[in-house]
Amino acid sequence: MNGFADLRARLAALDQRWLRRTRRVVEGGWTPAARIVESDATGRDVLAFCSNDYLGLATHTAVVEALAAGARRFGAGSGASPLISGHNAVHRDLEIRFAETQSPHIPTARALHFGTGYLANLAVISALADRETEVFSEELNHASLIDGIRLAYARRRVYPHGNAEALEAMLQDSTARRQVIVTDAVFSMDGDLAPLPRLLALAERHDAWLVIDDAHGFGVLGPGGRGSLAHFGLHSDRIVYMATLGKAMGVGGALVCAHEDVIEWLIQRARPYIYSTAAPPALAAAVATAFDIALGAEGERLRTALHTHIGRLRAAFGAPAAIEDADGGGPERVGAGWRLLPSSTPIQPIVVGGNDAALALAAALLDRGIWVPAIRPPTVAEGTARLRVTLSAVHTAEQVDRLTAVLKELMTRSE
Ligand SMILES: Cc1ncc(COP(=O)(O)O)c(C=O)c1O
Protein backbone atom coordinates (compact mmCIF):
# COMPACT_ATOMS: atom_id res chain seq x y z
CA MET A 1 0.00 0.00 0.00
CA ASN A 2 1.46 3.39 -0.90
CA GLY A 3 1.47 6.27 1.57
CA PHE A 4 -1.74 7.90 0.28
CA ALA A 5 -3.70 4.65 0.15
CA ASP A 6 -2.54 3.92 3.68
CA LEU A 7 -3.67 7.34 4.95
CA ARG A 8 -7.04 7.04 3.18
CA ALA A 9 -7.62 3.62 4.73
CA ARG A 10 -6.78 5.01 8.15
CA LEU A 11 -9.13 7.98 7.68
CA ALA A 12 -11.89 5.60 6.58
CA ALA A 13 -11.31 3.57 9.75
CA LEU A 14 -11.88 6.76 11.77
CA ASP A 15 -15.15 7.35 9.91
CA GLN A 16 -16.32 3.82 10.67
CA ARG A 17 -15.87 4.40 14.39
CA TRP A 18 -17.41 7.91 14.35
CA LEU A 19 -14.02 9.35 15.25
CA ARG A 20 -13.34 11.74 12.34
CA ARG A 21 -12.92 15.27 13.74
CA THR A 22 -13.95 18.42 11.93
CA ARG A 23 -13.50 22.10 12.61
CA ARG A 24 -16.21 24.73 12.62
CA VAL A 25 -15.29 28.14 11.31
CA VAL A 26 -16.13 31.00 13.67
CA GLU A 27 -16.72 34.41 12.13
CA GLY A 28 -15.79 37.45 14.19
CA GLY A 29 -14.68 37.48 17.81
CA TRP A 30 -15.46 34.81 20.35
CA THR A 31 -18.62 35.42 22.41
CA PRO A 32 -21.39 33.09 23.63
CA ALA A 33 -23.51 34.48 20.76
CA ALA A 34 -21.13 33.16 18.12
CA ARG A 35 -21.48 33.24 14.37
CA ILE A 36 -20.34 30.11 12.59
CA VAL A 37 -19.95 29.41 8.88
CA GLU A 38 -22.03 26.48 7.62
CA SER A 39 -20.91 24.27 4.72
CA ASP A 40 -22.71 26.49 2.21
CA ALA A 41 -20.58 29.37 3.56
CA THR A 42 -23.54 31.31 4.94
CA GLY A 43 -23.15 32.64 8.44
CA ARG A 44 -25.40 31.33 11.20
CA ASP A 45 -25.85 32.70 14.71
CA VAL A 46 -25.66 30.12 17.47
CA LEU A 47 -25.58 30.14 21.23
CA ALA A 48 -22.23 28.61 22.18
CA PHE A 49 -21.25 26.64 25.27
CA CYS A 50 -17.86 25.43 24.13
CA SER A 51 -15.17 27.98 24.93
CA ASN A 52 -12.70 28.11 27.82
CA ASP A 53 -13.02 31.92 27.90
CA TYR A 54 -14.54 31.55 31.36
CA LEU A 55 -14.55 35.25 32.26
CA GLY A 56 -15.28 36.65 28.80
CA LEU A 57 -11.91 38.40 28.62
CA ALA A 58 -11.13 37.33 25.03
CA THR A 59 -13.30 40.19 23.77
CA HIS A 60 -13.08 42.49 26.82
CA THR A 61 -12.48 46.02 25.53
CA ALA A 62 -9.61 46.77 27.91
CA VAL A 63 -7.77 43.53 27.05
CA VAL A 64 -8.24 44.07 23.31
CA GLU A 65 -7.02 47.67 23.67
CA ALA A 66 -3.95 46.49 25.61
CA LEU A 67 -3.14 44.05 22.81
CA ALA A 68 -3.45 46.77 20.17
CA ALA A 69 -1.44 49.27 22.24
CA GLY A 70 1.14 46.55 22.93
CA ALA A 71 1.53 45.87 19.21
CA ARG A 72 2.01 49.58 18.51
CA ARG A 73 4.62 49.84 21.25
CA PHE A 74 6.52 46.55 20.89
CA GLY A 75 5.72 45.49 17.32
CA ALA A 76 4.08 42.30 16.14
CA GLY A 77 6.63 39.73 17.21
CA SER A 78 9.46 39.13 19.66
CA GLY A 79 12.04 38.41 16.95
CA ALA A 80 13.90 35.56 18.64
CA SER A 81 13.90 32.94 21.35
CA PRO A 82 14.11 34.27 24.92
CA LEU A 83 17.78 33.36 25.40
CA ILE A 84 18.82 35.09 22.17
CA SER A 85 17.00 38.44 22.27
CA GLY A 86 13.25 37.76 22.53
CA HIS A 87 12.86 38.33 26.30
CA ASN A 88 11.18 41.72 26.63
CA ALA A 89 10.65 43.87 29.74
CA VAL A 90 6.92 43.22 29.41
CA HIS A 91 7.56 39.44 29.63
CA ARG A 92 9.78 40.01 32.66
CA ASP A 93 7.18 42.18 34.41
CA LEU A 94 4.46 39.60 33.77
CA GLU A 95 6.67 36.86 35.22
CA ILE A 96 7.33 38.95 38.34
CA ARG A 97 3.64 39.67 38.74
CA PHE A 98 2.63 36.03 38.34
CA ALA A 99 5.26 34.92 40.85
CA GLU A 100 3.76 37.42 43.32
CA THR A 101 0.31 35.84 42.91
CA GLN A 102 1.72 32.42 43.80
CA SER A 103 4.30 33.50 46.41
CA PRO A 104 2.00 32.65 49.36
CA HIS A 105 2.12 29.06 48.07
CA ILE A 106 5.64 28.60 46.73
CA PRO A 107 8.66 29.87 48.70
CA THR A 108 11.11 32.07 46.71
CA ALA A 109 8.70 31.86 43.81
CA ARG A 110 9.95 32.82 40.37
CA ALA A 111 8.09 32.48 37.06
CA LEU A 112 8.72 31.80 33.38
CA HIS A 113 6.55 32.81 30.42
CA PHE A 114 5.75 30.46 27.50
CA GLY A 115 4.02 30.83 24.15
CA THR A 116 1.50 28.05 24.96
CA GLY A 117 0.51 25.75 27.80
CA TYR A 118 1.38 22.75 25.66
CA LEU A 119 4.93 24.02 25.34
CA ALA A 120 5.15 24.83 29.06
CA ASN A 121 4.15 21.29 30.04
CA LEU A 122 6.65 19.76 27.62
CA ALA A 123 9.32 22.05 29.04
CA VAL A 124 8.67 21.39 32.72
CA ILE A 125 8.48 17.62 32.54
CA SER A 126 11.32 17.10 30.09
CA ALA A 127 13.58 19.32 32.22
CA LEU A 128 12.71 17.70 35.57
CA ALA A 129 12.58 14.07 34.42
CA ASP A 130 14.95 11.81 32.49
CA ARG A 131 15.54 8.12 31.86
CA GLU A 132 16.31 7.63 35.54
CA THR A 133 13.00 9.18 36.61
CA GLU A 134 9.64 7.62 37.30
CA VAL A 135 6.77 9.96 36.50
CA PHE A 136 3.49 9.19 38.27
CA SER A 137 0.79 10.43 35.97
CA GLU A 138 -2.92 10.74 36.82
CA GLU A 139 -5.12 8.71 34.51
CA LEU A 140 -7.02 11.71 33.09
CA ASN A 141 -4.04 14.01 32.55
CA HIS A 142 -3.99 16.35 29.57
CA ALA A 143 -2.18 15.16 26.44
CA SER A 144 0.53 17.83 26.84
CA LEU A 145 1.61 16.31 30.18
CA ILE A 146 1.71 12.85 28.67
CA ASP A 147 3.77 14.14 25.74
CA GLY A 148 6.14 15.83 28.21
CA ILE A 149 6.79 12.45 29.82
CA ARG A 150 7.50 10.99 26.39
CA LEU A 151 9.91 13.79 25.57
CA ALA A 152 11.73 13.17 28.85
CA TYR A 153 12.20 9.45 28.02
CA ALA A 154 11.04 8.86 31.58
CA ARG A 155 9.21 5.79 32.85
CA ARG A 156 5.48 6.54 33.13
CA ARG A 157 3.27 4.97 35.76
CA VAL A 158 -0.41 5.86 35.52
CA TYR A 159 -2.44 6.01 38.72
CA PRO A 160 -6.27 5.79 38.69
CA HIS A 161 -8.32 8.97 38.63
CA GLY A 162 -8.38 10.75 42.01
CA ASN A 163 -6.85 7.76 43.77
CA ALA A 164 -4.13 8.94 46.17
CA GLU A 165 -3.95 5.51 47.86
CA ALA A 166 -3.00 3.82 44.59
CA LEU A 167 -0.43 6.54 43.97
CA GLU A 168 1.07 5.99 47.42
CA ALA A 169 1.47 2.26 46.76
CA MET A 170 3.27 3.04 43.49
CA LEU A 171 5.57 5.57 45.18
CA GLN A 172 6.44 3.03 47.86
CA ASP A 173 7.38 0.57 45.13
CA SER A 174 9.57 2.97 43.23
CA THR A 175 13.30 2.39 43.11
CA ALA A 176 13.96 5.08 40.47
CA ARG A 177 16.53 7.76 41.18
CA ARG A 178 13.94 10.57 40.88
CA GLN A 179 10.17 10.79 41.27
CA VAL A 180 7.77 13.30 39.75
CA ILE A 181 3.99 13.37 40.33
CA VAL A 182 2.07 15.05 37.51
CA THR A 183 -1.59 16.09 37.56
CA ASP A 184 -4.17 18.43 36.11
CA ALA A 185 -5.69 20.50 38.94
CA VAL A 186 -9.05 20.71 37.15
CA PHE A 187 -9.59 17.83 34.73
CA SER A 188 -10.25 19.32 31.34
CA MET A 189 -12.85 16.81 30.13
CA ASP A 190 -14.43 15.98 33.52
CA GLY A 191 -14.33 19.30 35.36
CA ASP A 192 -13.53 17.83 38.78
CA LEU A 193 -10.55 18.69 40.99
CA ALA A 194 -7.50 16.58 41.86
CA PRO A 195 -7.05 15.90 45.59
CA LEU A 196 -4.06 18.26 45.66
CA PRO A 197 -3.50 18.37 49.47
CA ARG A 198 -3.15 14.58 49.55
CA LEU A 199 -0.90 14.55 46.49
CA LEU A 200 1.31 17.19 48.09
CA ALA A 201 1.57 15.18 51.33
CA LEU A 202 2.74 12.19 49.25
CA ALA A 203 5.23 14.33 47.33
CA GLU A 204 6.68 15.53 50.66
CA ARG A 205 6.82 12.02 52.11
CA HIS A 206 8.47 10.50 49.06
CA ASP A 207 10.74 13.40 48.13
CA ALA A 208 9.03 13.89 44.77
CA TRP A 209 8.22 16.95 42.64
CA LEU A 210 4.53 17.78 42.26
CA VAL A 211 3.76 19.28 38.83
CA ILE A 212 0.30 20.89 38.78
CA ASP A 213 -1.38 21.97 35.54
CA ASP A 214 -3.96 24.60 36.51
CA ALA A 215 -5.06 25.47 32.96
CA HIS A 216 -8.71 25.50 34.01
CA GLY A 217 -8.32 26.73 37.59
CA PHE A 218 -6.29 29.95 37.35
CA GLY A 219 -8.67 32.92 37.21
CA VAL A 220 -11.63 30.76 38.24
CA LEU A 221 -10.81 29.10 41.56
CA GLY A 222 -9.47 30.30 44.89
CA PRO A 223 -9.52 33.67 46.67
CA GLY A 224 -9.12 36.45 44.10
CA GLY A 225 -9.10 33.87 41.28
CA ARG A 226 -5.48 33.01 42.12
CA GLY A 227 -6.07 29.37 41.24
CA SER A 228 -5.93 25.91 42.73
CA LEU A 229 -3.01 26.41 45.13
CA ALA A 230 -4.90 29.30 46.70
CA HIS A 231 -8.16 27.30 46.64
CA PHE A 232 -6.58 24.52 48.72
CA GLY A 233 -4.21 26.80 50.70
CA LEU A 234 -1.13 24.78 49.72
CA HIS A 235 2.45 25.77 50.48
CA SER A 236 5.56 23.93 49.36
CA ASP A 237 8.80 24.32 47.43
CA ARG A 238 8.12 20.99 45.65
CA ILE A 239 5.25 22.41 43.66
CA VAL A 240 5.81 23.32 40.02
CA TYR A 241 2.69 25.26 39.03
CA MET A 242 1.54 25.91 35.47
CA ALA A 243 -1.28 28.26 34.45
CA THR A 244 -2.40 28.84 30.88
CA LEU A 245 -3.36 32.28 29.65
CA GLY A 246 -5.70 31.37 26.79
CA LYS A 247 -8.58 30.24 28.98
CA ALA A 248 -9.82 32.43 31.87
CA MET A 249 -7.26 35.12 30.91
CA GLY A 250 -8.71 35.18 27.38
CA VAL A 251 -5.41 35.77 25.57
CA GLY A 252 -2.85 32.99 25.09
CA GLY A 253 0.44 31.69 26.46
CA ALA A 254 1.31 30.16 29.81
CA LEU A 255 3.26 30.87 32.99
CA VAL A 256 5.15 28.41 35.14
CA CYS A 257 5.87 29.28 38.76
CA ALA A 258 8.22 27.34 41.03
CA HIS A 259 11.09 27.77 43.47
CA GLU A 260 13.77 29.98 41.87
CA ASP A 261 16.18 27.03 41.50
CA VAL A 262 13.62 25.12 39.43
CA ILE A 263 13.03 28.08 37.15
CA GLU A 264 16.78 28.59 36.72
CA TRP A 265 17.07 24.91 35.72
CA LEU A 266 14.26 25.34 33.16
CA ILE A 267 16.03 28.32 31.62
CA GLN A 268 19.21 26.24 31.30
CA ARG A 269 17.73 22.94 30.21
CA ALA A 270 14.11 23.10 28.99
CA ARG A 271 14.42 22.61 25.23
CA PRO A 272 10.86 23.78 24.39
CA TYR A 273 11.73 27.07 26.15
CA ILE A 274 15.20 27.48 24.71
CA TYR A 275 14.48 26.54 21.10
CA SER A 276 11.24 28.42 20.41
CA THR A 277 10.61 32.06 19.54
CA ALA A 278 9.39 34.06 22.55
CA ALA A 279 5.69 34.95 22.48
CA PRO A 280 4.92 38.39 21.02
CA PRO A 281 5.42 41.01 23.77
CA ALA A 282 2.01 42.47 22.89
CA LEU A 283 0.43 39.23 24.11
CA ALA A 284 2.15 39.64 27.46
CA ALA A 285 0.88 43.23 27.61
CA ALA A 286 -2.68 42.02 26.99
CA VAL A 287 -2.28 39.35 29.68
CA ALA A 288 -1.12 42.02 32.16
CA THR A 289 -4.41 43.84 31.61
CA ALA A 290 -6.31 40.54 31.87
CA PHE A 291 -4.60 40.08 35.27
CA ASP A 292 -5.78 43.55 36.36
CA ILE A 293 -9.34 42.52 35.59
CA ALA A 294 -9.37 38.83 36.55
CA LEU A 295 -7.52 39.22 39.83
CA GLY A 296 -9.32 42.43 40.85
CA ALA A 297 -12.83 43.56 41.79
CA GLU A 298 -14.25 43.05 38.30
CA GLY A 299 -12.93 39.49 38.35
CA GLU A 300 -14.83 38.89 41.61
CA ARG A 301 -18.05 40.02 39.98
CA LEU A 302 -17.40 37.85 36.93
CA ARG A 303 -16.63 34.80 39.08
CA THR A 304 -19.81 35.33 41.08
CA ALA A 305 -21.81 35.38 37.83
CA LEU A 306 -19.96 32.28 36.59
CA HIS A 307 -20.56 30.28 39.75
CA THR A 308 -24.22 31.32 39.73
CA HIS A 309 -24.53 29.91 36.18
CA ILE A 310 -22.85 26.67 37.26
CA GLY A 311 -25.32 26.28 40.15
CA ARG A 312 -28.22 27.15 37.85
CA LEU A 313 -27.32 24.51 35.28
CA ARG A 314 -26.79 21.82 37.90
CA ALA A 315 -29.98 22.72 39.77
CA ALA A 316 -31.95 22.33 36.53
CA PHE A 317 -30.87 18.67 36.54
CA GLY A 318 -31.38 18.24 40.29
CA ALA A 319 -27.62 17.96 40.92
CA PRO A 320 -25.85 19.54 43.93
CA ALA A 321 -24.05 22.79 43.13
CA ALA A 322 -20.68 22.50 44.84
CA ILE A 323 -18.50 19.43 45.01
CA GLU A 324 -15.03 20.18 46.25
CA ASP A 325 -12.88 17.38 44.84
CA ALA A 326 -12.89 14.04 43.08
CA ASP A 327 -14.35 12.37 46.18
CA GLY A 328 -17.28 14.74 46.28
CA GLY A 329 -19.87 12.36 44.86
CA GLY A 330 -20.75 10.25 41.87
CA PRO A 331 -22.30 11.40 38.62
CA GLU A 332 -25.96 12.36 38.57
CA ARG A 333 -28.12 10.23 36.27
CA VAL A 334 -30.16 12.90 34.58
CA GLY A 335 -32.26 10.63 32.31
CA ALA A 336 -31.94 8.81 28.97
CA GLY A 337 -28.82 7.11 30.37
CA TRP A 338 -27.01 10.47 30.47
CA ARG A 339 -24.73 11.30 33.40
CA LEU A 340 -23.88 14.82 34.55
CA LEU A 341 -20.39 14.55 36.06
CA PRO A 342 -19.71 15.82 39.61
CA SER A 343 -18.06 19.13 38.81
CA SER A 344 -18.09 22.49 40.57
CA THR A 345 -16.18 24.20 37.75
CA PRO A 346 -17.32 25.81 34.48
CA ILE A 347 -16.70 22.45 32.75
CA GLN A 348 -20.01 20.55 33.05
CA PRO A 349 -19.78 17.36 31.01
CA ILE A 350 -22.76 15.17 30.16
CA VAL A 351 -21.61 11.63 29.41
CA VAL A 352 -23.81 9.82 26.89
CA GLY A 353 -21.62 6.78 26.07
CA GLY A 354 -21.31 5.95 22.38
CA ASN A 355 -19.51 8.15 19.85
CA ASP A 356 -22.51 8.07 17.49
CA ALA A 357 -24.88 9.04 20.34
CA ALA A 358 -22.68 11.99 21.35
CA LEU A 359 -22.42 13.21 17.75
CA ALA A 360 -26.19 12.84 17.23
CA LEU A 361 -26.88 14.82 20.39
CA ALA A 362 -24.47 17.62 19.41
CA ALA A 363 -26.11 17.73 15.96
CA ALA A 364 -29.62 17.90 17.48
CA LEU A 365 -28.50 20.79 19.70
CA LEU A 366 -27.02 22.61 16.72
CA ASP A 367 -30.30 22.15 14.83
CA ARG A 368 -31.85 24.08 17.69
CA GLY A 369 -29.18 26.79 17.51
CA ILE A 370 -26.97 25.63 20.39
CA TRP A 371 -23.33 24.72 19.95
CA VAL A 372 -21.82 22.22 22.39
CA PRO A 373 -18.99 19.96 21.19
CA ALA A 374 -19.11 16.16 21.34
CA ILE A 375 -15.88 14.84 22.88
CA ARG A 376 -14.84 11.34 21.81
CA PRO A 377 -11.86 8.99 22.26
CA PRO A 378 -8.93 9.26 22.42
CA THR A 379 -9.60 12.54 24.29
CA VAL A 380 -11.85 10.56 26.67
CA ALA A 381 -12.04 6.82 27.42
CA GLU A 382 -13.85 4.47 25.05
CA GLY A 383 -17.59 4.32 25.85
CA THR A 384 -17.60 7.70 27.66
CA ALA A 385 -18.23 10.09 24.77
CA ARG A 386 -19.81 13.23 26.07
CA LEU A 387 -21.07 16.73 25.54
CA ARG A 388 -18.58 19.12 27.10
CA VAL A 389 -20.65 22.07 28.23
CA THR A 390 -18.56 25.03 29.32
CA LEU A 391 -20.01 28.10 30.97
CA SER A 392 -18.77 31.67 30.93
CA ALA A 393 -19.44 34.66 33.15
CA VAL A 394 -20.70 36.49 30.07
CA HIS A 395 -23.49 34.00 29.41
CA THR A 396 -26.82 35.29 30.69
CA ALA A 397 -29.16 33.38 33.00
CA GLU A 398 -31.65 33.21 30.09
CA GLN A 399 -29.02 31.60 27.86
CA VAL A 400 -28.25 28.97 30.50
CA ASP A 401 -32.00 28.30 30.85
CA ARG A 402 -32.32 27.92 27.09
CA LEU A 403 -29.56 25.32 27.09
CA THR A 404 -31.11 23.30 29.91
CA ALA A 405 -34.60 23.49 28.35
CA VAL A 406 -33.31 22.16 25.01
CA LEU A 407 -31.23 19.46 26.72
CA LYS A 408 -34.27 18.31 28.69
CA GLU A 409 -36.41 18.24 25.56
CA LEU A 410 -33.82 16.05 23.80
CA MET A 411 -33.44 13.87 26.88
CA THR A 412 -37.18 13.20 27.04
CA ARG A 413 -37.22 12.30 23.34
CA SER A 414 -34.44 9.74 23.71
CA GLU A 415 -35.89 8.07 26.84
C1 LIG B 1 -5.33 20.85 31.16
C2 LIG B 1 -4.67 21.54 30.01
N3 LIG B 1 -3.33 21.69 30.02
C4 LIG B 1 -2.70 22.30 29.02
C5 LIG B 1 -3.36 22.81 27.94
C6 LIG B 1 -2.59 23.44 26.83
O7 LIG B 1 -2.64 24.83 26.92
P8 LIG B 1 -2.51 25.72 25.61
O9 LIG B 1 -3.84 25.67 24.93
O10 LIG B 1 -2.13 27.07 26.10
O11 LIG B 1 -1.43 25.10 24.76
C12 LIG B 1 -4.77 22.69 27.90
C13 LIG B 1 -5.62 23.21 26.82
O14 LIG B 1 -5.43 23.42 25.73
C15 LIG B 1 -5.43 22.03 28.95
O16 LIG B 1 -6.76 21.87 28.93
Residue ID of nearest Cα to ligand 1 atom 7? 117
Pick the CATH number of 22-51+297-414 from 3.30.360.10, 3.40.50.10300, 3.40.50.2000, 3.90.1150.10: 3.90.1150.10
Angle at 333 between CA 331 and CA 334, to 5 degrees: 120
Q: Distances in Å between the alpha carbon of 405 and those of 172, 332, 352, 401?
A: 50, 17, 17, 6
Among 124, 188, 388, say which to mutate for ligand 1: greatest number of ligand atoms within 8 Å of CB. Answer: 188
- Helix, coil or strand: residue 397: helix
pLDDT per residue as tens, the chain (415 positions): 799 999 999 999 999 998 999 898 888 888 888 888 876 667 889 999 999 999 999 999 999 999 999 999 999 999 999 999 999 999 999 999 999 999 999 999 999 999 999 999 999 999 999 999 999 999 999 999 999 999 999 999 999 999 999 999 999 999 999 999 999 999 999 999 999 999 999 999 999 999 999 999 999 999 999 999 999 999 999 999 999 999 999 999 999 999 999 999 999 999 999 999 999 999 999 999 999 999 999 999 999 999 999 999 999 999 887 655 444 567 777 877 899 999 999 999 999 999 999 999 999 999 999 999 999 999 999 999 999 999 999 999 999 999 999 999 999 888 7
- pTM over 0.85? The answer is yes
Q: Which ligand 1 atom minimizes the distance to the CA of 246?
A: 10
Q: Which ligand 1 atom minimizes the distance to the CA of 144?
A: 4
Angle at 139 between CA 312 and CA 310, to 5 degrees: 5
How far away, in angstroms, is 244 Cα from ligand 1 center? 7
CATH code of the region 61-294: 3.40.640.10
- Beta bridge mates, 34: 46
CA–chain centroid gap for 380, Å, is: 14
Residue ID of nearest Cα to ligand 1 atom 4? 117
Neighbours of 330 (CB within 10 A): 9
Whole-number Å distance between alpha carbons of 262 and 106: 11
Exposure of 93 in the CB half-sphere (CA atoms within 13 A): 13
Residue ID of nearest Cα to ligand 1 atom 10? 117
pLDDT of residue 330: 73
Closest CA to 123 of 6, 229, 254: 254
- Helix, coil or strand: residue 371: strand
Q: Is the dihedral of CA 377, 380, 386, 390 positive or negative?
A: negative
How far away, in angstroms, is 255 Cα from ligand 1 center? 12
Whole-number Å distance between alpha carbons of 186 and 205: 23
CA–chain centroid gap for 257, Å, is: 16
How far away, in angstroms, is 74 Cα from ligand 1 center? 26
**Which residues, in sequence order, are CB contacts of 247 under 8 Å at separation 6+?**
52, 53, 54, 215, 216, 218, 219
Residue ID of nearest Cα to ligand 1 atom 16? 188
Whole-number Å distance between alpha carbons of 82 and 10: 40
Are 256 and 240 in contact by the 8 Å Cβ rule? The answer is yes
Are 24 and 50 in contact by the 8 Å Cβ rule? The answer is no
pLDDT of residue 326: 45
How far away, in angstroms, is 254 Cα from ligand 1 center? 9
How far away, in angstroms, is 145 Cα from ligand 1 center? 9
Q: Which ligand 1 atom minimizes the distance to the CA of 121?
A: 4
Burial (CB count <10 Å: 0-12, 13-18, 19+), residue 9 = exposed
Whole-number Å distance between alpha carbons of 79 and 75: 9
pLDDT of residue 322: 62
How far away, in angstroms, is 3 Cα from ligand 1 center? 32
pLDDT of residue 327: 46
Residue ID of nearest Cα to ligand 1 atom 15? 215
How far away, in angstroms, is 117 Cα from ligand 1 center? 5
- Beta bridge mates, 135: 156, 180
How far away, in angstroms, is 252 Cα from ligand 1 center? 10
Residue ID of nearest Cα to ligand 1 atom 9? 117
pLDDT of residue 61: 98
How far away, in angstroms, is 120 Cα from ligand 1 center? 9
Whole-number Å distance between alpha carbons of 249 and 254: 10
DSSP string over 142-159: -HHHHHHHHHHT-EEEEE
Q: Which ligand 1 atom minimizes the distance to the CA of 184?
A: 1
Q: Which ligand 1 atom minimizes the distance to the CA of 253?
A: 10
Q: Which ligand 1 atom minimizes the distance to the CA of 254?
A: 10
Among 50, 54, 141, 144, say which to mutate for ligand 1: greatest number of ligand atoms within 8 Å of CB. Answer: 144
Q: Where exactly are the structural domains of the chain? A: 22-51+297-414, 61-294
Question: Ligand 1: which residues within 6 Å by Cβ?
Answer: 116-118, 121, 142, 144, 184, 188, 213, 215, 244, 246, 254
